[in-house]
Amino acid sequence: MDTDEEGDNDWDRSLESDMLETEGSSTDRVTSISQRVILHIDLDCFYAQVEMIRNPALRNKPLGIQQKYLIVTCNYVAREHGVNKLMSVTDAVEKCPQLVLVKGEDLTHYREMSYKVTELLMSYCPLVERLGFDENFMDVTEMVERRLKETCISDLSFNGHVYKHESMAVDEENARLAVGSVIAAEMRQAIFSTLGLTGCAGIANNKLLAKLVAGTFKPNQQTTLLPYSTAELMSSLTGLIKVPGIGYKTREKLKALGLVSVRDLQLYSLADLVREFGEVTAKRIQNLACGIDDSPVTPAGPPQSLSDEDSFKKISTLEEVQKKTEELLTSLTERMHKDGRRPHTFRLTIRQYTVTNRWFSRESRQCPIPNHTGLKITCGSSEAVPQLLGLSMKLFHKMLDTREPFHLTLLNVCFSNLQAKSSSKSSIASFFTQKCPTTTQMTSQQQVSMYDFPYFNVPANVDPYVFSQLPADVQRELLTEWRQQKPVLKIPSKHSHKTSSTRDKKSAAKGSQCNNILKYFKPN
């Protein structure tokens, strides 16, 4: 399996740091946290959906996506035949002999679609956090508040299911979640009509509960959790493994203390837990077991690397390598130029065909990018590509002896160590000097193909990228302030993105002369 998946560990880590940050927070903050409206959107049989979009003939057939000997996912037709995620290919074919298998080792299309979904969601609301390839959290509290001001509670109803309720009337107390459920339905509809993907949503007061409740009804459905049903949802979990944020090592330690179920952890003495884990972790995991999670939805920043790759049946001559690499470099340098940052490291990856290990034999070499080449990339000069091609071929010869026959099935070019043009990296002003950030956050190993950074619904003089880098609390505070001053927070139409970006960049440049960070964000 490819290694550039974001995994549950990210969720574990982010929860941990969030708890540290929020230690000692005020009562006000706790109150506001309990009133948040958080959505969790999880796409249905994600890789299988992408393959069905690529080849609609697969739509009504049982489809399994294969990585090595495993079915990493399968469509819902296959699930009706008893095929499940992570079943071995042998077992799956035994259950469903007509199962169609598609190889899913190359993540390019999944990744591309994944970022399109995040981008779409961010065009409605700035607070979107990715989890893995097919999950996104959204903090829609501000949207909900805005709508509530314009809506009469008696006109509201819940969209989709309410956890453990057949039907539910809307009152003062649950109105925010009801509006959240309407927004969730709109987001799912937007994803479907724009990208053709279905998914499930959970609506709750925090990330943990939104994620847990989202899977209650599948596929293509949504469920809202009312706060008083929290205990019931938590006790329905079959074990601590089902609690996101409690990782393998923690679970092992808990097991050694005799704690296996969610209930065990809820009831265990906090003092004893503190002795074992320290105060922060002890409180965090016990809170999680009780469904308490005040971690913020943290929007993604720009990616740490940009890359492009192509896979093919066979490349076996130096000329073909040069031609393909040149093609890849041309599109990559164009994207890098649009991004505005300067890459300092270049990496070339190849995959050689071998009979025994067809898909997993990638090899890479990397080198620093000379200053003159880096400058050519950032200013969009056509001379950048030949210079990079020279570097590429040097790296290529380090990996392969071309006097011997070779058989390549993939080439990947990658820029990493991306730095903003301004020399002072730590200064906030460096963000404003960036030309046009175009992508969203990934780990250093991740790549993105055609993902453009979305433009947030923030006032015209605010750089959306800078805004996205601020802590969630500050974002919320600013949004509230702007909303009170001027009704500027319109949802941008997709077609207006380019225009507003130019305007935003100009205004942001103007704003960069101020000293106080808040001045950057005050509408003129």
Q: Which two tokens stand for residue 282?
A: 């002890």
Contact at 8 Å (CB) between 316 and 226?
Answer: no
- What is the pattern of x (binds ligand TTP, CB under 6 A) and - over residues 79-108? ------xx----------------------
Least Å distance between CB 219 and ligand TTP?
5
Q: What is the footprint of ligand TTP within residues 132-191 (CB under 6 A)?
A: 133-134
Q: How far is residue 72's CA from residue 47's CA, in Å, rounded to a whole number?
A: 8
Give the residue, chosen from 72, 138, 306, 410, that forms a contact with ligand TTP under the rule CB under 6 A: 72
Sheet bearing 100-103, strands edge to edge: 87-88, 70-74, 63-67, 100-103
Task: Between 74 and 408, name the residue whose CB sits nearer to Mg ion.
Answer: 74
Residue 133: which of ligand TTP, Mg ion, none does it interact with, CB under 5 to 8 A by kind? Answer: ligand TTP
Nearest to 476 by CA among 130, 89, 152, 33: 33
Q: How far apart are CA 370 and CA 328, in angstroms?
A: 19
Contact 200, 41 (CB under 8 A): yes
Residue 158 binds which of ligand TTP, Mg ion, none (CB < 5-8 A, kind-dependent) = none
With respect to ligand TTP, which residue has the nearer C-beta, 43 or 127?
43
Give the pairing type, strands 38-43 and 199-204: antiparallel
Which of 16, 51, 129, 135 is the catalytic position? 135
Q: How many CB atoms lie within 10 A of CB 21?
A: 15
Q: How far is the CB of 440 from ligand TTP (least distance, A)?
A: 18
Q: Which two tokens stand for residue 206?
A: 């925090």
Size of the site for ligand TTP (CB under 6 A): 16
* Contacts of Mg ion in 121-140 (CB under 5 A): 134
Annotation marks residue 135 as catalytic: yes
Contacts of 520 (CB under 8 A, 6+ apart): 428, 432, 462, 463, 466, 508, 511, 512, 514
Parallel/antiparallel/unpaired status of strands 63-67 and 38-43: unpaired
- DSSP 8-state assignment for residue 355: S
> Is residue 51 near Mg ion by the rule CB under 5 A?
no
Q: Confirm or reject binding of residue 74 to Mg ion (CB under 5 A).
A: no
In the bound complex, what is the minimum distance in angstroms from residue 46's beta carbon to Mg ion?
5
Binding flag, residue 301, ligand TTP (CB under 6 A): no
44 binds ligand TTP (CB under 6 A): yes
> Should residue 73 be labelled a site residue for ligand TTP when binding is judged by CB under 6 A?
yes
| Whole-angstrom distance, CA of residue 301 vs CA of residue 129 | 10
Q: Which of 16, 18, 42, 294 binds Mg ion (CB under 5 A)?
A: 42
One of 10, 32, 219, 435 touching ligand TTP (CB under 6 A):
219
The distance from CA 78 to its chain's CA centroid, rounded to whole angstroms, is 27
Build a one-symbol-per-residue string for 45-64: x at contacts with ligand TTP by CB under 6 A, - elsewhere.
Answer: xxx-----------------
Q: Which residues of 244-260 are buried (b: 16+ CB within 10 A; e: fewer)?
A: bbbbeebbeebeeeebe
What residue ranges bind ligand TTP (CB under 6 A)?
Answer: 1, 5, 42-47, 72-73, 85-86, 133-134, 218-219
Catalytic residues: 135
